[in-house]
Amino acid sequence: MSQLSSKLDFFQESVIREMTRKAIHHDAINLSQGMPDYSPPEELITGLLKAMKEEIHQYSITYGRYDLRKKIADKFRNYNKIKLDPEHEITVTCGASEALSSSILAVTDPKDEILILEPWYENYVPLTHLAEGKPIFVPLSSDDFSLDQEKMLEKTTEKTKAIIINSPHNPTGKVFTKDELKFISDLCVDNDLIAITDEIYEYILFDGKKHVSLASISDMFDRTITVSGFSKTYSITGWRVGYVGADIDIMTGIRKVHDYLTVCAPSFLQYAVLKAFDLQKEYFAELIKRYQENRDFLVSELEKLGFNVIIPAGAYYLFADISDFKMSDKTFVNFLVEEKGVATVPGSSFYQKDSRTSKEGERFVRFTFSHKIETLEKAITRIKRKIEKM
């Protein structure tokens, strides 16, 4: 008899995180995992030092410090146009990752069908399996990753419990339009579905795009779980502080799971991130400028090298079509990391295995542009050398 749960047969460890280990092993420039090589804002470091002085070393209240939940509620109201009660409807978590885990575990019964748009961010599928739900994959259109409304209707059944949405989208940089979000909201209302919306890249939007939260669309408030966090916006992916907002009935369930999964997010880091709310709109404008410049640089350099890039409208990843190189994604990615020292992620890891659509993923490689231009330049120089020799 196996010592391990059969649930684990359905998935493997993250390919993205594996690529980081390979990057370390080969001393490669790591353009795989989305980690900024920028320092966090000074204010957060000041908050961190203050947390040490204040001796914040013990558990916080399970749901997160009240003053932090209050600040998050203000941000939800002003930026996302969602009114959430900090007392009952917001929970601070160990990153958006834990917010997603607690949420998926809280709403899923065995065999419930969970709609997942393909390609997807790696965590959604394993989490659905851990919750004993059934992931139902709905491919986005293969040319521009827009919503395929017909497919969505086709895949929605009486067993469908929830849909997971991510905008701005990892890995493609797609930002769902208001019309697409309206379609999703109608689908949820008509079929009594819960929407779990991952908005971790909500501040990283290009070319003047504006963020729209699904929960702000009419009739969606009491059926939407909104997940976000501090990792990406403030370059603190290692701090592991995120949060989730949902109406009181759903949040009561999420809090039960969160309590037993983690007890609380690190107390001193909750204190430190309070300082994030002192930052003014210039900070967010600068953030967009930085990543837009990085995007433009990487897109234009990769295009010169023969990649066919789908221009991302948000987040800090791009999906590059490598069809012209006549190699599968995995071969290409291994070649880049082993031979030339640049780590990326094979596109197929964002698609289901052994299916028609997994073939679709094999024509892509994901690059992150969360790194300084100097780092991107070095990576391009390394790739160029290799490609010229190919």
**14 scored as a contact of ligand PMP (CB under 6 A):** no
- Range 211-230, binding ligand PMP (CB under 6 A): 229
Element (H, E) at 136: strand 134-139
Handedness of CA 35, 291, 236, 200 (dihedral sign): negative
Among 23, 90, 96, 269, binds ligand PMP (CB under 6 A): 96
| Rg of the chain on CA atoms, in Å | 21
Quick one: three-class SS letters along 264-317? CCCHHHHHHHHHHHHCCHHHHHHHHHHHHHHHHHHHHHHHHCCCEEECCCECCE
Site pattern 23..42 for ligand PMP (x: CB under 6 A): -----------x--------
- Range 146-175, binding ligand PMP (CB under 6 A): 166, 170
No. of helices (H) and no. of strands (E), the chain: 13, 13
Minimum distance between the CB of residue 95 and ligand PMP, rounded to whole angstroms? 3
Minimum distance between the CB of residue 42 and ligand PMP, rounded to whole angstroms? 21
**103 scored as a contact of ligand PMP (CB under 6 A):** no
Nearer to ligand PMP among residue 240 and residue 290 (C-beta): 240
Minimum distance between the CB of residue 44 and ligand PMP, rounded to whole angstroms? 15
Element (H, E) at 225: strand 224-229
- Of residues 181, 251, 255, 182, the one with CA closest to residue 223: 251
Minimum distance between the CB of residue 267 and ligand PMP, rounded to whole angstroms? 17
**237 scored as a contact of ligand PMP (CB under 6 A):** yes
Minimum distance between the CB of residue 32 and ligand PMP, rounded to whole angstroms? 11
Distance CA 226, CA 82 (A): 10
**242 scored as a contact of ligand PMP (CB under 6 A):** yes
Query: How many residues sit in the footprint of ligand PMP (CB under 6 A)?
Result: 13
- CA–centroid distance for 56 within its chain: 29
Distance CA 364, CA 324 (A): 11
Minimum distance between the CB of residue 90 and ligand PMP, rounded to whole angstroms? 15
Among 30, 60, 80, 97, binds ligand PMP (CB under 6 A): 97
Minimum distance between the CB of residue 221 and ligand PMP, rounded to whole angstroms? 22
Nearer to ligand PMP among residue 15 and residue 200 (C-beta): 200
Among 121, 291, 307, 364, binds ligand PMP (CB under 6 A): 121
User: Please, which residues bridge with residue 116 across strands?
Assistant: 137, 164
Distance CA 352, CA 139 (A): 10
- Of residues 55, 37, 6, the one with CA closest to residue 267: 55
Nearer to ligand PMP among residue 221 and residue 316 (C-beta): 316
User: Which residues contact ligand PMP by CB under 6 A?
Assistant: 34, 95-97, 121, 166, 170, 198, 200, 229, 231, 237, 242
